[in-house]
Amino acid sequence: DTGVSQNPRHKITKRGQNVTFRCDPISEHNRLYWYRQTLGQGPEFLTYFQNEAQLEKSRLLSDRFSAERPKGSFSTLEIQRTEQGDSAMYLCASNVQGVDEKLFFGSGTQLSVL
């Protein structure tokens, strides 16, 4: 068990650029979650997958955000035309449905939009 891995750890970009983050869940975990956390706040749910199917999206996930999990393993979160308000920590978590409902989180990707 190597834990949930997220890359990159830090990303600095200019407003208007596109960015993509990657999350590798714990192997055999069929559920994968994305959260966003701004300074001083608790994490906010964005979306989750069960295998390759995206089952729920928060209204926080604007049209500029897209997440994929094409083979039911790793996932990517892309933000198009970034805005300064997108600056946050993006966290990924995974678990196994119905076996252990606790979530295992990665260390996150810190995005700074200049």
Note the residues at the interface with another protein (CB under 8 A). Answer: 4, 33, 40-45, 48, 55-56, 58, 91-93, 97-98, 101-108
Residue 85's Cβ-count burial label (10 Å; 0-12, 13-18, 19+) is exposed
CB closer to another protein out of 40 and 70: 40
CB of 62 to another protein, least distance (A): 17
CB of 29 to another protein, least distance (A): 14
E-only strand ranges, the chain: 5-7, 10-13, 19-24, 31-37, 44-50, 53-57, 65-68, 75-79, 88-96, 100-105, 109-113
Inter-residue contact 114 to 56 (CB < 8 Å): no
- Least separation in angstroms between residue 47's CB and another protein is 9
Q: Which is nearer to another protein, 79 or 91 (CB)?
A: 91
Q: Pick the closer one to another protein by CB: 14 or 101.
A: 101
